[in-house]
Structure 1
């Protein structure tokens, strides 16, 4: 048993789903703690007891960065962890900067949950982000990539192959079916569901643009989520239903009510919503960005469209058939259990912990091809 401290910037969204899966599994094997910011983190929906959860004052603004690092330093001194498992770019920067000139430190496992240098931004910014990640990797024992795409791109940007592994995100079985659906759907229409932040990364603007330009009279679009870091105003199409944030424990009910889930991301480290859809026997309409083509096989468990050619998305929506969607949903569930169940993810992470603890203090990490 090890004392493990998880650190994250925010927890709302897919990161909360991931953390809850890991925390629930590790609580039986380790002495586990979680640290996250007060902003966009929920005490009630995190799978950890309040006495093991520390929320620190924070906003994504430079004036809060030093305060965040001070809070992390105090927490590490208090908990004295064997392993610090850090989630996300900002949390990874705060923690590893603190350790940069320290000779003695706990084991550091880092997962960016989507590399900053793969965002849709200018080339010079990507090079800067990659340079910072390479520098901070010197104070990292293992780097978890959440997809083969993330792994290969990190190699292209020069990160260490000796420290890098691939561990697909995973989720556990769907919630027990409920007799009541969260809303009444028109069974004569194709009912599509979007789940996630209403922001540029998730391709939310493209989705609304397509639905505003093409009034799909036989399609209803349900929108679960909202903005996170800043407020934005959107022009919602007439056949869209805005629902707002839904507790993750309720997501299965919303997915079961619809015919398919749509994930139109501009960039995506993984796409937990996609595998949540598969476990609910729902096919996924996804962009060709990031890891999504590793999860969705076009015509098998959903459809892939080229983000740069939105007419492909239009054609897919116009050609949807309930019968075909239902058959692809059955196939999707089988793929979920083969590749994306949380048991597989958690066992891989546990093996990383074991290897790291065995080799604590060694100068070099072991070859990790067995994880890739």
Structure 2
């Protein structure tokens, strides 16, 4: 059993799903603790006891960055973890900056959950983000990439191959429920979007397509909202805003719909996609990031070129319930083979064991070298 401190910036959204899977698995195996910001994190929905959770005051502003680093420093000194498992770019910067000039530190496992240098931004910013990641990798024992695409791009930007590997995100089986599925219109194709209403997720593109084409036989349900900033959108008549719902409720909405749509501009992984496969729902996804690793075009959904809005519109126009149902069953088979949480948690557990073993061997080697040096003097 190891003492494991998990650190995250925000948890709302897909990262909460990931954390809950990991925390639930580790709760009986390790002595675990979680730190996350008060903003966009919920003690009620995180799968960890309240006495094992610290929500620190935070906003994404420089003044709060220093406070976050100080809060992490205090918790590290108090908890004395064997492993710090850090989630997300900002949390990764806070934690590893703290350790940068310290000789003694716990094992650091880092998962960016989507590289900042792969965002749709200016090239000089991408290079700057990559440079920071390469520097901070010096104080990292292992870097988790959440897809092959993320790994390949990380290698292209010069991150250390010896410290890097791929661990796909995973989710558990659905929980049996007597509750009926979410009520939808049986005479229409019912599509579901789940996620933040922001540019990364391609939400603007999705609404553009629906506003331009007015699909008469399609109803679009929207689970989510804005997170970091308020944006004004024009919602077509055949959309229904449902707001944020607890992750435990996602299956309820997915079971009632015919397919899930994920139009992301960039996507490190796409947990919503595997939640859809778990519920036997096909996925309509952009060709960005890891989504083509989850969705095989024509088998368990459709892939469209993000740069071609008409391609997405054409896919939506030709959808039919019978084909979608067949794709949903194929998607469930893929979920069981590749994206179940058992595989993910087993891999993380092996990483912990290997990292702790290497740290122990390095420590023993250092002691031997010190003893030899003392004997020679």
Q: TM-score, normalised by structure 2?
A: 0.95
Maintained 8 Å contact 1:175/1:249: no
The alpha carbon displacement at 1:24 in A equals 0.3
The alpha carbon displacement at 1:328 in A equals 0.2
Maintained 8 Å contact 1:178/1:253: no
Secondary structure of the structure 2 residue equivalent to 1:360 = helix
The alpha carbon displacement at 1:141 in A equals 0.1
Aligned-partner Cα distance in 2 for 1:39–1:186: 36
The corresponding residue for 2:91 is 91
Q: 1:1-372 counterparts in 2 under 5 A?
A: 1-182=1-182, 184-360=183-359
Aligned-partner Cα distance in 2 for 1:54–1:63: 19
The corresponding residue for 1:367 is none
Aligned-partner Cα distance in 2 for 1:340–1:287: 19
| Bigger shift: residues 224-233 or 275-284 | 224-233
The alpha carbon displacement at 1:361 in A equals 5.7
Aligned structure 1 segments of 4 or more residues deviating by more than 2 angstroms: 177-182, 361-364
The corresponding residue for 2:374 is none
Aligned-partner Cα distance in 2 for 1:92–1:179: 40
The alpha carbon displacement at 1:175 in A equals 2.2
The alpha carbon displacement at 1:334 in A equals 0.3
The alpha carbon displacement at 1:362 in A equals 5.7
Secondary structure of the structure 1 residue equivalent to 2:134 = helix
Secondary structure of the structure 2 residue equivalent to 1:162 = helix
- Greater C-alpha Rg: 2
Aligned-partner Cα distance in 2 for 1:53–1:210: 42
- Residues 142-201 of structure 1 show CA distances to partners (whole Å, capped at 9, x for unaligned) of 00000000000000000000000100000000121333233x211110000000000000
Aligned-partner Cα distance in 2 for 1:235–1:2: 50
The alpha carbon displacement at 1:231 in A equals 1.2
Q: How many residues align?
A: 363
- Residues 101-156 of structure 1 show CA distances to partners (whole Å, capped at 9, x for unaligned) of 00000000000000000000000000000000000000000000000000000000
The alpha carbon displacement at 1:363 in A equals 6.2
Aligned-partner Cα distance in 1 for 2:350–2:180: 40
Q: CA RMSD in A?
A: 1.0
The corresponding residue for 1:370 is none
Which structure carries more helix by proportion? 2
Secondary structure of the structure 1 residue equivalent to 2:18 = helix
